[in-house]
Structure 1
């Protein structure tokens, strides 16, 4: 037997031992050395990436990948600022030497191409090989709108594109071309023969709702303009597309839709149920009401119910919804639960931006007595005493001041992110190129606030302020129009070559003014949205007086890239009918 070492510690099995702490202290120098080596590796990698970033920006003679935006931790990349401070991160990442640029960023192992310089974006919108970014669609349908994985598998498998003719080498069955028949339905509804009757239904229902308001010739105090427009104008627009039955059998539907809209930033950040359950509950409430509506409409609809306009009906609301009921439910793995997610996306897309921008257009007109006077006088000159419902909504678009007001509100307040993908070929974008399989993101918020591009009348109307005439070009006034003289495209036609009158145009602004996206990804609902805003301006200025109580309009950045921010505080006002 080996004699016991009297110097060895006596181990008591039941007594807590400080061995682990002892080892940690002893190994601390080694841990520090390893940590220092790792930190130096990160710093070295960052230094190299900064060098390459500047080097690629300075090389202008050859086509190349956009520079990779420098980050300290390679795999994590820019994930934290991208998710938590999206607005400031995009502003910083897409600016170089004071000009808009294009870069590659890494977000948790995923690479995105942020394209912002005008030459690149202009070329991007013209390319036909680009398709919808199906992985992005899948992410949005799942996390924003709650679509189940079975239906999402049909989206993941669809590489056929949005056009009538599938992409070469695509073997997707016709019934599973969800990207195509989604775009097909939207295009027909919002740019084709259904546009006029849909706009007319909105006009009629909004006029009816405004007539029924408990507002007299005496001032009536209203606590919040946002809630007023959501309840009245939002309901009218939803009914124009989805019909009256949806709202009749679901009395809280409009209110619940706006609660869901307020929840979108939480869902966009994939905040789980156990941390914040209310966004998920708000989404489920709307989806449940949609499924209840499906059953009711199926029990009552017949082809004889279609209105004389050939589009609307009292149960499904429009040809678009009838189209979606037919096409989606033919696709593999689709059921009412998946359809409710797709329809929720359409509901949100219908009112999520159109109603806030309409409200802000009315807000700015009534905040400025001189502008209000000009709007009313212009409508009087154009239409006299013609009843509003007898005015073709297309005629309102010919009013340059009304169109400019809407365009300026869209420029000032709408920030959207457009994602496109090149699934089948490398794409040349002039100075830059985008390889096959890459995903690009274009954010309107950067170019909308580019003070080196937009006309400010030598600083009199800064890009972050509302200027009703920014998009109006006046004859014999070379300083008018939306773009600064130095940045103008000299190849565009003279808008005054025919009649010499003030004109409105967004021609040539495709890479700078993009509240609806651009190219194949442009929002088909833009024509209806414009009719909604301009008719509302005509109706509200002709029928009502509004006084906005003193306040500061303060919008945050929590919803940046997802549309229009909600004012942080209620906008109190008073309203009366005009004599």
Structure 2
């Protein structure tokens, strides 16, 4: 078991870098990025990674995030309503899969359409099933298994990349003609993806093949953790009557009847909903944070050192349930055992006890549910 001080040291030290694993294993082995593109990432000393992160943050904060939220909600709402609406008289009901399968389909569709536009989803209806085949074979790609050993996974990725290349070429052509809605376009997708296509299109090694691998990476990143966490968030809400009533009250309080929508910025700032999201990722996600030692050696503590080239894996599942460390960091956080779901685990009260707020202060090194990249 890695102790919190080990985790904090690894995540903060410049002697360890997430990018070698991202370049070779994620973009290369998993996303099928061309070698020329990977060589460009490596030769740029991390500058491309910084530019990419800055660009994504511009589109996932403030008014840009509000725009994406609204598009995602409306797409999800339309998709679900179509699926559960009563059939015409005399026809059979549409078969709905198990509840998790229902969430997986509709949330993935909403994310894909919000990011890439509706045309690719309509022209390539297999995008959802192929994406989840790809996601579920992640560890097999990381192990470098050849095509003949996992033909189903390679075939799904081939179809994903081929259709994204077609989408990329169409998007590029329309943008060059100034024939797109720059906020969101049915063919070219969101402003995030339109600008991202141009950003990468100007780099060496990023023809339609290099851009397609990058887009697949973004689509993977936007769904692989979001979809299961969305399901378990919902599941924990509806299985507890008291929690269900509290969540519904929060939602109804921030509804916008005039637009049949909600004030998402205020909702996501509510302490209970923030705590529930943090607890859901802590309890249900099994993601890894990965770093590679790039210095001659790294001192984990006074007893152990790690040599250059060693890959360090930090599993959220174990760190998130290491009771001794959590109890030391914040005793009230283990009022209920870490091997159970507790919606209020990340909530604290002000000194007068009248106001509750969300807080993850003190959990550094214990809570790494935010993902495996360089930035939270």
TM-score (norm 2): 0.84
The Cα of 1:458 is off from its aligned counterpart by 10
Is contact 2:21-2:291 (8 Å) kept?
Answer: no
Distance in 1 between residues matched to 2:118 and 2:255, nearest whole Å: 32
Structure 2 CA distance for partners of 1:155 and 1:398, relative to 1, 3 Å: closer
Aligned to 1:526: none
Q: Out of 183, 204, 228, which is 1:356 matched to? A: 228
Compare 263-272 and 427-436 and name the one that shifted more: 427-436
Distance in 2 between residues matched to 1:378 and 1:391, nearest whole Å: 11
The Cα of 1:448 is off from its aligned counterpart by 0.6
Aligned to 1:258: 132
Q: Does 1:288 align with 2:174?
A: no
Structure 2 CA distance for partners of 1:214 and 1:135, relative to 1, 3 Å: closer
Aligned to 2:184: 312
Structure 2 CA distance for partners of 1:245 and 1:384, relative to 1, 3 Å: closer
The Cα of 1:324 is off from its aligned counterpart by 2.7
Question: What secondary structure, in the 3-state scheme, does the structure 2 residue paired with 1:212 have?
Answer: helix
Distance in 1 between residues matched to 2:307 and 2:139, nearest whole Å: 31
Aligned to 2:40: 154
Provide the aligned C-alpha RMSD in A: 3.2
Distance in 2 between residues matched to 1:459 and 1:126, nearest whole Å: 26
Is contact 1:403-1:504 (8 Å) kept?
Answer: yes
Is contact 2:275-2:347 (8 Å) kept?
Answer: yes
Aligned to 1:471: 346
Question: What secondary structure, in the 3-state scheme, does the structure 1 residue paired with 2:287 have?
Answer: strand
Q: Which runs of 5+ in 1 are unaligned?
A: 1-94, 96-115, 163-177, 476-495, 524-579
Is contact 2:254-2:267 (8 Å) kept?
Answer: no
Aligned to 1:419: 290
The Cα of 1:239 is off from its aligned counterpart by 1.5
Question: What secondary structure, in the 3-state scheme, does the structure 2 residue paired with 1:273 have?
Answer: coil
Q: Out of 246, 267, 270, which is 1:399 matched to? A: 270
Aligned to 1:521: 374
Distance in 1 between residues matched to 2:241 and 2:69, nearest whole Å: 29
The Cα of 1:521 is off from its aligned counterpart by 0.9
Question: What secondary structure, in the 3-state scheme, does the structure 1 residue paired with 2:60 have?
Answer: helix
Question: What secondary structure, in the 3-state scheme, does the structure 2 residue paired with 1:442 have?
Answer: strand
Structure 2 CA distance for partners of 1:458 and 1:395, relative to 1, 3 Å: closer
Is contact 2:174-2:188 (8 Å) kept?
Answer: no
Q: Deviations over 1:180-210 (max 9, x none)?
A: 3322322222246522211221122222223
Aligned to 1:249: 123
The Cα of 1:470 is off from its aligned counterpart by 2.0
Q: Deviations over 1:392-427 (max 9, x none)?
A: 211002322222222111001112222234646876
The Cα of 1:507 is off from its aligned counterpart by 2.3
Q: Select the structure with the greater relative contact order (CA < 8 A; seq sep ≥ 6).
A: 2
Q: Which runs of 5+ in 2 are unaligned?
A: 87-92
TM-score (norm 1): 0.57
Is contact 1:263-1:282 (8 Å) kept?
Answer: no
The Cα of 1:155 is off from its aligned counterpart by 2.8
Is contact 2:21-2:292 (8 Å) kept?
Answer: no
Question: What secondary structure, in the 3-state scheme, does the structure 1 residue paired with 2:238 have?
Answer: helix
Aligned to 1:225: 99
Is contact 1:264-1:279 (8 Å) kept?
Answer: no
Q: Deviations over 1:316-348 (max 9, x none)?
A: 222322233223232223321222122111111
Distance in 2 between residues matched to 1:327 and 1:395, nearest whole Å: 32
Is contact 2:135-2:224 (8 Å) kept?
Answer: yes
